[in-house]
Amino acid sequence: MSAALVEAERLRKVYALPRERLTAPAPQVVAVDGVSFTLQAGRSLAVVGESGSGKSTLARLVMALEPPTAGRILQSGRDLAALSPGELRRARADFQMVFQDPYGSLDPRRTVGWTIAEPLSALTDAGRAEQRERVAEMLAQVGLRAADAEKYPHEFSGGQRQRIAIARALITRPKLIVADEPVSALDVSVQAQVLNLMRELEARFGVTYLLISHDLAVVNYVAAEIAVMYRGRIVEQAPTRALFDRPAHPYTRALLEAVPKPEPGRTRRRRARAEPAGEIGTGCSFAPRCPFAIDRCRVEAPSLRKLETGHAAACHRAEEVIAG
């Protein structure tokens, strides 16, 4: 059996904050806390959670844009942290990233053709003629014209700019694309176009996505599997349909209940209740907000445990959450 596309082993990332006083120790924040997961080729994985849950930090760790404080990332069996700078540079042809902001992720001083070809120039030995040919091919694949290569980013709409960003990510024919909130900055109608494009390109090129999002409606459309993060930890992971049909963690249930649903005849929108998270102690970090919490939850942190095939949750009362 071939190595998994991505294997994360107990990843931890700690950031030091500015000192409050010159002689005081620097306070620390744990952005990712012991995260492990496996991403198989052809089974796109979405990581969801509210702001501050550690999703984007996890994306940067997978892309080797930052080193983990502890743990390791393997891509196709390679430990990225163990590679030399030259080896890591060559390996980057296999994994590319699409950023959230289609306006800030493109250089306004460079033509679209230059921007899309940049990974080829940096990571491969492709000559200029081949680069021009590949750029034209990628523009066509994302629904733009070859002549658009001579234009600048300000000449395109937000949705078109994100198509350009996707073309740039695909130009090296990577196995993995990490997409960090790729449609959150776009209008709803344009989001659907970009998501349809991502699905088409997944089928056409065999690319696998690691999709970072706070929007469960988006990941339901794109991902085969979902991992839910809360305060730096994965609290539930399951195939997409199983997670929507049988959520096993109270936080996942809260996220699903917050997804707007059409209710004919109702003029008021029910607001999801947001309660203070409280301090992280020795117990479950979600306990202060959890309607299922018992005394055990406040003193013993639950581990991520298997419930059924492919479905795991970090909750002492997961079976009751599914039933209730």
**Closest to 228 in 3D by CA, of 202, 208, 254:** 254
Contact predicate 277/231, CB 8 Å: yes
Distance CA 64, CA 84 (A): 12
pLDDT (0 to 100) of residue 281: 58
Task: Could you list the beta-strand ranges (E) of 141-261.
Answer: 176-180, 208-213, 225-230, 233-239
Sign of CA dihedral 97, 136, 162, 259: negative
Three-state DSSP at 37 gives strand
- φ, ψ for residue 228 (rounded to 5)? -100, 125
CA distance 27 to 133: 51
Say if CB 214 and CB 184 are below 8 A apart. yes
pTM to 2 decimals?
Answer: 0.88
- Among candidate residues 71, 73, 77, the one with its CA nearest the CA of residue 63: 73
User: What share of the chain has pLDDT > 90, as a percent?
Assistant: 69
Q: How many CB atoms lie within 10 A of CB 57?
A: 23
pLDDT in the model for residue 24: 83
Distance CA 258, CA 253 (A): 9
Ordered by start, the domain boundaries in the chain are 247-259+277-324
Q: What is residue 31's predicted lDDT score, i.e. its pLDDT?
A: 94
pLDDT of the residue at 276:
37
CA 161 vs CA 139, 176, 187, 222, 237: distances in Å: 11, 20, 13, 20, 32
User: In the prediction, which pLDDT does 163 show?
Assistant: 94
- List 73's β-bridge partners, or say none: 8
Q: Tens of pLDDT along the chain (324 residues)? A: 457 899 999 999 999 888 888 888 888 899 999 999 999 999 999 999 998 999 999 999 999 999 999 999 999 899 988 899 989 988 999 999 998 888 888 999 999 999 999 998 888 888 889 999 999 999 999 999 999 999 999 999 999 999 999 999 999 999 999 999 998 888 888 988 999 999 999 999 999 999 999 888 888 888 999 999 999 999 999 999 999 999 999 999 999 988 766 555 544 443 334 343 334 457 999 999 999 999 999 999 999 999 988 899 999 999 999 987
Of 182, 185, 283, 184, which is closest to residue 231 (Cα–Cα)?
283
Helix (H) or strand (E) holding 266: none
The alpha carbon of residue 8 and the mean position of all alpha carbons in its chain are separated, in whole angstroms, by 14
Q: What is the pLDDT of residue 126?
A: 85
**Cα 252 to Cα 249: distance, rounded to the nearest angstrom:** 5
74 Cβ contact list (under 8 Å, min separation 6): 3, 4, 6, 7, 8, 9, 80
- pLDDT (tens digit, 9 = 90+) per residue, 137-182? 999 999 999 999 999 999 999 999 999 999 999 999 999 999 999 9
Identify whether the C-beta of residue 191 lies closer than 8 Å to the C-beta of residue 183.
Answer: yes
Residue in the block written with tokens 């994965």 = 234
